Amino acid sequence: MALKVCKFGGTSMADGHTMTKVKNIVESDPDRLYVVVSAPGKRFSGDTKVTDLLYKCYAEIMQHGDCKRAFADVRKRFEGIVKELNLDFDMASVLDATERRMEEERTEEFVASRGEYLAAIVMSQLLGAKFIDAEDVIFFDESGAFDDKKSYAAIAAAVDGKTRAVFPGFYGKGADGKIKTFSRGGSDISGAIVARAVGASVYENWTDVSGFLACDPRIVDSPKRIKTLSYKELRELSYMGANVLHSESIFPVRKANIPIVIKNTFRPEDDGTSILPIARYKPSGNIVTGIAGKKNFTVIFIEKSHMNSEIGFVRKVLSVLERYGIPVEHIPSGIDTMSVVVESDRMDNFKLEQILESIKAEVEPDFMRVSENIALIATVGHGMSSSVGTSARLFKALADEGVNVKLIDQGSSELNIIVGVRNDDMEKSIAAIYREFFGNN
CATH number of the domain encompassing residue 327: 3.30.2130.10
Q: How far apart are CA 325 and CA 337, in angstroms?
A: 23
The answer to whether residue 387 scores a pLDDT higher than 90 is: no
Please report, to the nearest 10 degrees, the dihedral formed by the alpha carbons of residues 53, 59, 61, 67 taken in order: -30
Final residue before a domain boundary, out of 180, 208, 236: 208
In a domain, 284, yes or no: no
Region 413-431: what's the mean pLDDT? Answer: 93
Q: Does one domain contain both 328 and 425?
A: yes
The answer to whether residue 362 scores a pLDDT higher than 90 is: yes
Q: Does one domain contain both 295 and 189?
A: no
Helix 108-127 vs helix 91-105: crossing angle, to nearest 10 = 160
In a domain, 276, yes or no: no
106-110, 158-162, 409-413: which range is least confident on average? 409-413
Q: Does one domain contain both 29 and 156?
A: yes
CATH of the domain at 119: 3.40.1160.10
In a domain, 238, yes or no: no
Residues of the chain above pLDDT 70, percent: 99
Mean pLDDT of the chain: 93
Give φ, ψ of 133 to 5 degrees: -70, 130
In a domain, 326, yes or no: yes
The structural domain count of the chain equals 2
Q: For position 285, what pLDDT does the model report?
A: 75
Q: How far apart are CA 22 and CA 8, in angstroms?
A: 8
Helix 108-127 vs helix 16-27: crossing angle, to nearest 10 = 60
Taking residue 98's Cβ as centre, other Cβ atoms within 10 Å add up to 19
Q: For position 364, what pLDDT does the model report?
A: 95
Q: Does one domain contain both 42 and 164?
A: yes
Long-range contacts of 344-351 (CB under 8 A, 24+ apart): 344/296, 344/297, 344/298, 344/372, 344/373, 345/296, 347/298, 351/324, 351/326
The answer to whether residue 51 scores a pLDDT higher than 80 is: yes
Region 350-355: what's the mean pLDDT? Answer: 92
Q: For position 392, what pLDDT does the model report?
A: 93
Question: What is the pLDDT confidence band of residue 441, given thresholds at 50, 70 and 90?
Answer: low
Residue length, the chain?
441
Residue ranges of alpha helices (H) inside 324-425 are 349-363, 390-400
In a domain, 407, yes or no: yes
Q: For position 92, what pLDDT does the model report?
A: 97
Structural domain of 366 = 290-438
Q: For position 162, what pLDDT does the model report?
A: 72
Final residue before a domain boundary, out of 189, 208, 227: 208
Q: Does one domain contain both 15 and 141?
A: yes
Q: For position 1, what pLDDT does the model report?
A: 62
Q: Does one domain contain both 174 and 314?
A: no
In a domain, 167, yes or no: yes
Question: What is the pLDDT confidence band of residue 2, given thresholds at 50, 70 and 90?
Answer: confident
The answer to whether residue 410 scores a pLDDT higher than 90 is: no
Final residue before a domain boundary, out of 161, 191, 208: 208
Helix 50-64 vs helix 108-127: crossing angle, to nearest 10 = 140
Region 205-228: what's the mean pLDDT? Answer: 92
In a domain, 347, yes or no: yes
Give the burial string for 336-346 (b: 16+ CB within 10 Å, else e).
bbbbbbbbbeb
pLDDT: which is higher, 96 or 250: 96
Q: Does one domain contain both 176 and 310?
A: no
Question: What is the pLDDT confidence band of residue 251, given thresholds at 50, 70 and 90?
Answer: confident
How many CA atoms lie less than 13 Å away from 39 in the CB half-sphere? 24
Please name which of 185, 222, 201 lies closest in space to residue 49, comparing C-alpha atoms: 185
Please say whether the beta carbons of 227 and 273 come within 8 A.
Answer: yes
Region 158-187: what's the mean pLDDT? Answer: 92
The three-state secondary structure class of 140 is strand
Please say whether the beta carbons of 165 and 129 come within 8 A.
Answer: yes
Q: What does DSSP say about strands 165-168 and 171-173: parallel, antiparallel, or unpaired?
A: unpaired
Q: Does one domain contain both 429 and 333?
A: yes
Q: Does one domain contain both 172 and 303?
A: no
In a domain, 245, yes or no: no
Q: Does one domain contain both 188 and 331?
A: no
The answer to whether residue 247 scores a pLDDT higher than 90 is: no
Please name which of 203, 165, 209, 170 lies closest in space to residue 189, comparing C-alpha atoms: 170
Q: What does DSSP say about strands 273-276 and 260-264: parallel, antiparallel, or unpaired?
A: antiparallel
Q: Does one domain contain both 294 and 407?
A: yes
Give φ, ψ of 14 to 5 degrees: -65, -35
Tell the burial category of 65 from Cβ atoms under 10 Å away from its Cβ (0-12, 13-18, 19+): exposed
The answer to whether residue 421 scores a pLDDT higher than 90 is: yes
8-17, 224-233, 423-432: which range is least confident on average? 224-233
Q: For position 96, what pLDDT does the model report?
A: 98
Give CA separation, 173 vs 147, 258, 282, in Å. 10, 25, 39
Q: For position 413, what pLDDT does the model report?
A: 65
Q: For position 278, what pLDDT does the model report?
A: 77
Q: Does one domain contain both 305 and 176?
A: no
